[in-house]
Structure 1
Amino acid sequence: MNKGAYKQYNQVQIKTANRGKLIVMLYQGAIRFMKKAILNLEQKDMEGKGNALIRAQDIILELTYALDQESLDRGDELALNLQRLYLYSYRRLVHANVRMEIEPIQEVIGLMGELLEAWEQILQSEGGEATGTAPMSPGLVITG
């Protein structure tokens, strides 16, 4: 598949995905870019490493922005814990980028991987992929 067709397919997939599937896609993208950053770091491609980490950081910020502000304002424990985890992950990636370290990237891959697995289980158990109506945590809102 050529790059143009793949990009177009990806755009259609994003536009037609339900909220839960969008969250899963964000986690998958962040993990993919972090793995790419590790590979680039091992190959001494600092520009590639930096670009991949910035993309992963952008995705983590999107996950942070997707949290429901009202839930955060009410002190909803799930929303607050996710916010803390996302901000911690973001800081670890900044640290990895500046210090040229792989360990913080691997740590965040582990954290995002656990969240990805949880969301995939939620979608599967609730039939979110089949019905297009994934349940949303009260602390999460995806718009678009």
Structure 2
Amino acid sequence: MATNNPYTAYQNNTVNTSTPGELTLMLYNGCLKFIQQAKISLENGNIQETNVSSQKAQAIISELMLTLDKSYPVSQNMLVLYEFVTSRIIEGNIKKDSLMFEEAAGIMKEFRDTWKQVIQINRQKQYGEVNEI
């Protein structure tokens, strides 16, 4: 049964019309959202929700790892950091330690902020090129 939810339609349209760079930014934001949800759930004593949110964050990081272009030397460093973030999330979940979630979020924020700058620089270049024509 199809739903006529305008929000769902908007979300689908956003994903379908986004550039690969914008999709990557959405993944970073989603990962941060789930890490934060895991931390809040842990602090509220909701262990089941902590686990679910942790697994969602891990799934996003796995996707980021799979789509990483390994032809660039920096990719290996990113892969190591993704693995570290994953280990922090897993340990935070197992040991019930919100500081590990904070550490993971800090690294993912750095990735997200850097990626956001890359997108902005690319847009400025495209806009500049359009004006030169």
Aligned to 1:127, the other structure's residue is in SS state helix
How many angstroms does 1:66 deviate by? 0.7
Equivalent residue letter for 2:122: E
How many angstroms does 1:14 deviate by? 1.1
What CA distance in whole angstroms lies between the structure 1 residues aligned with 2:49 and 2:8?
20
Partner of 2:31: 30
Question: How many residues in Structure 1 have an aligned counterpart in Structure 2?
Answer: 123
User: Which is higher, the Rg of structure 1 or of structure 2?
Assistant: 2
Partner of 1:6: 7
Q: Per-residue displacement from partner, 1:44-99 (whole Å, max 9, x unpaired)?
A: 00111111110000000000001124x2xxxx421101111111111111111111
What CA distance in whole angstroms lies between the structure 1 residues aligned with 2:6 and 2:83?
34
Aligned to 1:8, the other structure's residue is in SS state helix
Matches within 5 A, 1:49-60: 49-60=50-61
Matches within 5 A, 1:105-120: 105-120=101-116
What CA distance in whole angstroms lies between the structure 2 residues aligned with 1:120 and 1:126?
10
- The answer on 1:96 being equivalent to 2:92 is yes
Task: Return 5+ residue gaps in structure 2 as ranges.
Answer: 128-133
Question: Aligned pair in 2 of structure 1 residues 47, 10: CA closer, same or farther (>3 Å)?
Answer: same
Identical counterparts, % of pairs = 28
Aligned to 2:8, the other structure's residue is in SS state helix
What CA distance in whole angstroms lies between the structure 2 residues aligned with 1:96 and 1:5?
36
Which segments of structure 1 move beyond 6 Å, counting only runs of 4 or more?
A: none
Partner of 1:141: none
TM-score (norm 2): 0.85
Partner of 1:21: 22
RMSD over equivalenced CA pairs, Å: 1.8
Equivalent residue letter for 1:66: T
What CA distance in whole angstroms lies between the structure 2 residues aligned with 1:110 and 1:6?
30
Partner of 2:121: 125
Q: Which structure shows the higher helix fraction?
A: 2
Partner of 1:138: none
